[in-house]
Structure 1
Amino acid sequence: MTRLSHTLALAAFVLLSLPSVSTAQDEAEKKTLNVLFIGNSYTARHNLSTVVKTMAEAGQPGLTFNRTDVIYGGRTLKDHWRLGTQNIVSQSTVTEAEEKATIAALEKAVAADPKDKYAPSALARHRALLPELESHRQPWDIIVLQSYRDDLTGDPTLYAEYAPKFAALAKAQGARVVLYETTPTTQNEKPLATPPDPAPVLAKTRAIAALANRIDASVAPMALVTQRCQEQRPDITTRFINDAHLNQNLAYLTACTLYAALFETSPVGLPVDSITDIRTFEGKPADKTKDRDGLPLTRTFSAKDRADLQRIAWEGWNEFQKLR
């Protein structure tokens, strides 16, 4: 064999031994995120975390977005702490003794207050977790902490008191924290004739920014983003008339903002174009195909509305970064 033919044969062997470029790229793009959402109906309504999952997997090719919700209606992070949600956050390291202690505390709470609607649900959750602890040792990658009126008053607010407690547990396992700030007091059930007063929103937003800086968290700043929507698209409503919760418009805007916070990437261009609520019309007659206001349960957005909501979410998220 000549020196040239030997060299060519060796080169061919090396090339055949290497993975193809496309396969290597595919492997590099494969990633799984395990994401825990802690909140109340502002997370449960519209299956918000599922919408975020759909957006994430559409906008981040190759990503598997595994979502888990811990929901207690109307509850805050303080309530979640009482109900043992910190054990879910720490499930990769929580001990059997710690989980048994939580169960004992919840059993005591149930016995002490039969009117406590949430302790029985939490007790059932932790009783189910105990025998399955070893199969739940996967650490979280991201933990989303929802506020709910606990970020309005107090110095510090209850949100500013309890978010760091959960954040410390998240950081101990290398997880990122995302603060999902809700804004129930500024939602509009009707189109606006005049812009809202920006001063209260700015004050609250600055407080959230300070908290985020203190615990090194990302933020979905919904007070600021909602205000931006109300200024630019005053025709868009953000809550139901017959229900105080965020409507499909604000749910979509929130999902886009969470996407921006999770990936620091614009949601503009995402193909997701609809939102479906989980609560139906309770009038006479009841109609499970209609939402609380008697409109279609699923709202499919026009190309303009979808583009505007995506853009407003991204602009609002970027505006928030300037306050940090």
Structure 2
Amino acid sequence: MKRLTNSIIQILFGFVVLALANSASVAQTKATIRSTGTERPESIIYIGNSFFYFNNGISGMVARILASADPKYKLRSTLVTISGSGFDWHDVGSYFRPDAVGRYTIDDNNVVTFNQPNRLFDLAIMMDCSQCPVHPRLQGIFYEYAKIHAETARKNGSEPVFFMSWAYLDKPEMTEQLAEAYTRIGNENKALVIPAGLAFARSVKERPDIRLYIADKRHPTMAGTYLAALTIYAAIFKKSPVGISYTADLGEESARFLQKVAWDTVSDYLAP
């Protein structure tokens, strides 16, 4: 009888520990920063790797989505990527040095405009390598450089934003792990997190027929880049992309679905 009682106590204790762990996880993965503080950013620098530069660059996709939603809105974007790179590969301070990255813009009429060197970019959207936030040997670098780069961006008049990347198609467990890691650095550094990884997971669950990954099960198809860009638009501009005319040539039905996934994911993730 005594042995049975001890077993029951051990089982109950195990449930308590599990419940506490789960509640801690839920509490941590609740984003506390819901805005960049800049309602209408005029310039964005994207700092990352191949997840950003596939399909002619996520910066251009976001710009086309924005132009479709608000044709009069002018947004200047710069994409700085290194294949396979993590946070620590990027010398973010050098991207803000005078007379360098983003020094001038050339419009459709071939007119050159020189940008103000004291405020090159309103926002700096950054992502680490696809495994770095959850890799046991690289996690420390992820947290270290998230802080370093956030401070560097702010020192140069730019608000840092973190881009939560997606799980590999054959490793769905990465979704929760990446969400935890990115939400944590967002909360710690008082920076908005764009929940692209959660949007991918929702889309795969609801519509696995819409291919978001190329054959390597890691990099995005055009639909994947479109969904990521829609999620950026929804999180940064706090507006629903549902109904915009730009579809990235995916077909209206698929585009509408991805638009709704992006908006629903951002609404859920950033809900008070």
The two structures share one fold, judged by TM-score above 0.5: yes
Residue 277 of structure 1 corresponds to: none
Partner residue of 2:83 out of 63, 68, 73: 73
Structure 1 stretches of at least 4 aligned residues deviating more than 6 Å after TM superposition = none
SS at match of 2:208: coil
Supply the distance in 1 between the matched residues of 2:185 and 2:233 (Cα, whole angstroms).
Answer: 20
Partner residue of 2:122 out of 141, 151, 154: 141
What amino acid is the match of 1:178?
Answer: V
Residue 312 of structure 1 corresponds to: 261
Residue 87 of structure 1 corresponds to: 94
Supply the distance in 1 between the matched residues of 2:268 and 2:141 (Cα, whole angstroms).
Answer: 25
Cα distance, 1:161–1:134 mapped onto 2, change above 3 Å: same
Alpha-carbon displacement from aligned partner over 1:206-228 (angstroms, at most 9, x marks no partner): 22212111112222222211110
Determine if the alignment matches structure 1 residue 255 to structure 2 residue 229. Answer: yes
Q: Unaligned stretches of 5+ in structure 1?
A: 1-30, 95-124, 189-195, 275-299
Partner residue of 2:67 out of 49, 57, 61: 57
Alpha-carbon displacement from aligned partner over 1:25-51 (angstroms, at most 9, x marks no partner): xxxxxx761111101111111121101
Larger RCO (CA under 8 A, 6+ residues apart): 2
Aligned pairs for 1:191-206 (under 5 A) are 200-206=174-180
- In the TM superposition, residue 201 of structure 1 has moved relative to its aligned partner by 2.2
Alpha-carbon displacement from aligned partner over 1:255-313 (angstroms, at most 9, x marks no partner): 10011121122111222111xxxxxxxxxxxxxxxxxxxxxxxxx21211001001001
Alpha-carbon displacement from aligned partner over 1:230-268 (angstroms, at most 9, x marks no partner): 111121222112674211111111010011121122111
Alpha-carbon displacement from aligned partner over 1:177-214 (angstroms, at most 9, x marks no partner): 2211222x4336xxxxxxx86x6522431222121111
Supply the distance in 1 between the matched residues of 2:187 and 2:53 (Cα, whole angstroms).
Answer: 27
Supply the distance in 1 between the matched residues of 2:235 and 2:245 (Cα, whole angstroms).
Answer: 18
Determine if the alignment matches structure 1 residue 170 to structure 2 residue 153. Answer: yes
Partners of 2:168 and 2:218 within 8 A in 1? no
- Report percent identity of matched pairs: 21
Residue 193 of structure 2 corresponds to: 219
SS at match of 1:208: helix
Supply the distance in 1 between the matched residues of 2:45 and 2:174 (Cα, whole angstroms).
Answer: 30
Residue 16 of structure 2 corresponds to: none
Residue 104 of structure 1 corresponds to: none
Alpha-carbon displacement from aligned partner over 1:142-174 (angstroms, at most 9, x marks no partner): 101022221112485422221221111222344
Cα distance, 1:256–1:167 mapped onto 2, change above 3 Å: same
Partners of 2:227 and 2:259 within 8 A in 1? yes
Alpha-carbon displacement from aligned partner over 1:9-65 (angstroms, at most 9, x marks no partner): xxxxxxxxxxxxxxxxxxxxxx76111110111111112110111112332343211
Supply the distance in 1 between the matched residues of 2:192 and 2:47 (Cα, whole angstroms).
Answer: 15
Supply the distance in 2 between the matched residues of 1:134 and 1:226 (Cα, whole angstroms).
Answer: 35
Supply the distance in 2 between the matched residues of 1:238 and 1:157 (Cα, whole angstroms).
Answer: 29
| TM-score normalised per structure 2 | 0.71
Supply the distance in 2 between the matched residues of 1:34 and 1:60 (Cα, whole angstroms).
Answer: 15
What amino acid is the match of 1:269?
Answer: G
Residue 10 of structure 2 corresponds to: none
Residue 107 of structure 1 corresponds to: none
Partners of 1:178 and 1:262 within 8 A in 2? no
The root-mean-square deviation of aligned C-alpha atoms, in Å, is: 2.9
Supply the distance in 2 between the matched residues of 1:39 and 1:207 (Cα, whole angstroms).
Answer: 17
Alpha-carbon displacement from aligned partner over 1:75-116 (angstroms, at most 9, x marks no partner): 111011xxx33221x335x9xxxxxxxxxxxxxxxxxxxxxx
SS at match of 2:75: strand
Residue 207 of structure 1 corresponds to: 181
